[in-house]
C-alpha cells in the first residue's frame, strides 16, 4: 500500500495549513491561536468529540470507526515553536521576531490534521482513535501536564504513537527501534566555594575558577572512564560563571551542564557519581562544592510489540527497503516519553530530506514528507483497529 491517493490530493491544502502555523509560531503553553485553529478544523471535519483545554491548551479529538469496537488508540502531535529568530527568508517565514518553528512541529500538527480529515471521511476502522495535539514539548513538559490532567484515563487510551521529522533521512523513509530511541534530558548545577581575594595575591586565595576549569575536564572521565564503553551517555558542560572584576579573584563559581542517557541504570549511575565526585574533587583544592541534579524528560522507550507493528505499517507505505527498524537513537529529548511510560506505543522518525538540522535558524519542514506522514497515520489506525 503506497501513499494514499486521497491524501496526495489534499497535500497542497495540508501544506497551506502548515505554512500558516509556521508564519505564526507560538511558544510553550501559549499556543492559543494554533490550538484554536486545530479545534475549529477538527470540528469542521466532523470529529465525534473535540475537547480543548487539556493540560492548559492541549486539544484532543475522538473519531469513531464504522464498527462497534470501543478500543481506543492515541496519535500525538506537538504544536509549539522555539524562541529563535528565523533566517530562512521563505514566503511563509515567521512573522514574529524571536519565535520560529525550528523543529517541525508545524508539520507534525498539519499532518495529524490531514489524518483527521481522511479518517472522518472514510472511517475504515473498528474502534476509536484519539488525536492528541500537545503544547509545550520544547522544555515545558506539556505531555506530562496533559497526563496529569487525565488524558489517558479520560479517553481510555490503550496505546500511543508519535512521529518526528528527521533531517538527513530521505523523504519517503522511516526510522524506528525497539527500546530507547531518544534520551533522558537531565541538568546539573554545581556551586563551588573557595576563598576570594586580590588578583595580585592568588596565593592567599582558594581560586574557584581554577577548580572549575579543572573540574570541567575531570567531569568527562565519568563517561570515558567510569561508564562501560558499550553503554551510551553524554555529559556536557554548557555554562561556567564566576567573577565580577578583572582584579578580583571571586569567592564562588558555578558550572551548569546537561546529561543525556538512553538507559535508566546509566542515568542513576551518573547522578550518583556526580554527587560523589564533585565535593571530593573540590576538596582536593581546599574548596567546597555541591551539585544539584535535576531530572528532565525520561528516556523515550518504544515497546517491542508496538514498534514491530509501527515498522510494518511504515513498510506498507514506503516499502521494506525504506524502513530502518534498527535506527540509531538520538541523544535529543522528547516529552512523548511520559506518555510511553504510561502506555505501550512507539515513536518513529520520518525522513525530512536534506534540510538543515533541527533547532537551527534556517530549518524548514519539508512539505514533500506530508503525504508519507499522513498515510502512515491513516494506515496505522486502519491496521490497529481493523474492520471485521
Q: Which of 155, 161, 152 is nearest to 47 (CA)?
A: 155
Coil, helix or strand at residue 174: strand
| Bridge partners (DSSP) listed for residue 81 | 27
Q: What is the 3-state secondary structure (H, E, C) of 42-61?
A: HHHHCCCEEEEEECCCEEEE
Burial category of 124 from C-beta neighbours within 10 Å (exposed 0-12, middle 13-18, buried 19 and up):
middle
Taking only the tens of pLDDT, the chain with its 388 residues reads: 577 788 889 999 999 999 999 999 999 999 999 999 999 999 999 999 999 999 999 999 999 999 899 999 999 999 999 999 999 999 999 999 999 999 999 999 999 999 999 999 999 999 999 999 999 999 999 999 999 999 999 999 999 999 999 999 999 999 999 999 999 999 999 999 999 999 999 999 999 999 999 999 999 999 999 999 999 999 999 999 999 999 999 999 999 999 999 999 999 999 999 999 999 999 999 999 999 999 999 999 999 999 999 999 999 999 999 999 999 999 999 999 999 999 999 999 999 999 999 999 999 999 999 999 999 999 999 999 999 8
CATH 3.90.930.60 is held by the domain 5-182+299-384: no
The whole-angstrom separation of Cα 299 and Cα 277 is 24
Phi-psi category of residue 301: left, alpha or beta, with phi > 0 → left and psi -120 to 50 → alpha: beta
Return phi, psi of residue 289, to 5°. Answer: -155, 150
Residue 105 in marked binding region: yes
Residue 47 in marked binding region: no
The whole-angstrom separation of Cα 321 and Cα 88 is 33
How far is it between the farthest Cα atoms of the chain?
A: 84
Task: Locate the domains of the chain by residue range.
Answer: 5-182+299-384, 184-294
Residue 138 in marked binding region: yes
pLDDT at 5: 85
Whether 184-294 and 5-182+299-384 are alike in CATH topology: the answer is no
Out of 3.30.70.360, 3.30.530.20, 3.40.50.970, 3.40.50.720, the CATH code matching 184-294 is: 3.30.70.360
Residue 164 in marked binding region: yes
Residue 24 in marked binding region: no
User: Per the structure block, which three cell numbers stand in for 317?
Assistant: 507505505
pLDDT at 3: 75
The whole-angstrom separation of Cα 279 and Cα 74 is 46
User: Per the structure block, which three cell numbers stand in for 255?
Assistant: 558550572
Return phi, psi of residue 197, to 5°. Answer: 170, -170
Amino acid at each position: 500500500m503506497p501513499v494514499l491517493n486521497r491524501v496526495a490530493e489534499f497535500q497542497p491544502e495540508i501544506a497551506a495549513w502548515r505554512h500558516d502555523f509556521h508564519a505564526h509560531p507560538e511558544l510553550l503553553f501559549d499556543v492559543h491561536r494554533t490550538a484554536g485553529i486545530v479545534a475549529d478544523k477538527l470540528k469542521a471535519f466532523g470529529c465525534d468529540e473535540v475537547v480543548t483545554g487539556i493540560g492548559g491548551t492541549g486539544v484532543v479529538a475522538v473519531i469513531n470507526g464504522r464498527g462497534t469496537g470501543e478500543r481506543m488508540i492515541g496519535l500525538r502531535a506537538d504544536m509549539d515553536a522555539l524562541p529563535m529568530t528565523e533566517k530562512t527568508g521563505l514566503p511563509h517565514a515567521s512573522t514574529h521576531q524571536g519565535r520560529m518553528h525550528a523543529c517541525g512541529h508545524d508539520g507534525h500538527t498539519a499532518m495529524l490534521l490531514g489524518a483527521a480529515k481522511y479518517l472522518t471521511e472514510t472511517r475504515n476502522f473498528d474502534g476509536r482513535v484519539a488525536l492528541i495535539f500537545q503544547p509545550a514539548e520544547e522544555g515545558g513538559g506539556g505531555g506530562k501536564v496533559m497526563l496529569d490532567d487525565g488524558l489517558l484515563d479520560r479517553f481510555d487510551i490503550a496505546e500511543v504513537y508519535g512521529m518526528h521529522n528527521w533531517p538527513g533521512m530521505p523523504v519517503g523513509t522511516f526510522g524506528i527501534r525497539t527500546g530507547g530511541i531518544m534520551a533522558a534530558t537531565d541538568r546539573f548545577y554545581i556551586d563551588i566555594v573557595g576563598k576570594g581575594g586580590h588578583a595580585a595575591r592568588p596565593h592567599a586565595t582558594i581560586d574557584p575558577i581554577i577548580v572549575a576549569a579543572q573540574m570541567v575536564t575531570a567531569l568527562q572521565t565519568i563517561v570515558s572512564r567510569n561508564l562501560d564503553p558499550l553503554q551510551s551517555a553524554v555529559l556536557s558542560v554548557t555554562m561556567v560563571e564566576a567573577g565580577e572584576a578583572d582584579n578580583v579573584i571571586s569567592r564562588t563559581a558555578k558550572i551548569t551542564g546537561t546529561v543525556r542517557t538512553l538507559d535508566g541504570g546509566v542515568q542513576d549511575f551518573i547522578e550518583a557519581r556526580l554527587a560523589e565526585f564533585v565535593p571530593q574533587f573540590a576538596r582536593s583544592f581546599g574548596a567546597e562544592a555541591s551539585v544539584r541534579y535535576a531530572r528532565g524528560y525520561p528516556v523515550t522507550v518504544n515497546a517491542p510489540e508496538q514498534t514491530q507493528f509501527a515498522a510494518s505499517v511504515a513498510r506498507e507505505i514506503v516499502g521494506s527497503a525504506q524502513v530502518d527498524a534498527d535506527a540509531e537513537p538520538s541523544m535529543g529529548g522528547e516529552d512523548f516519553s511520559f506518555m510511553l511510560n504510561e502506555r505501550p506505543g512507539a515513536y518513529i522518525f520520518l525522513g525530512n530530506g536534506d534540510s538543515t538540522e533541527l533547532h537551527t535558524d534556517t530549518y524548514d519542514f519539508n512539505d514533500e514528507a506530508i503525504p508519507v506522514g499522513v498515510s502512515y497515520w491513516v494506515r496505522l489506525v486502519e491496521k490497529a483497529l481493523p474492520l471485521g
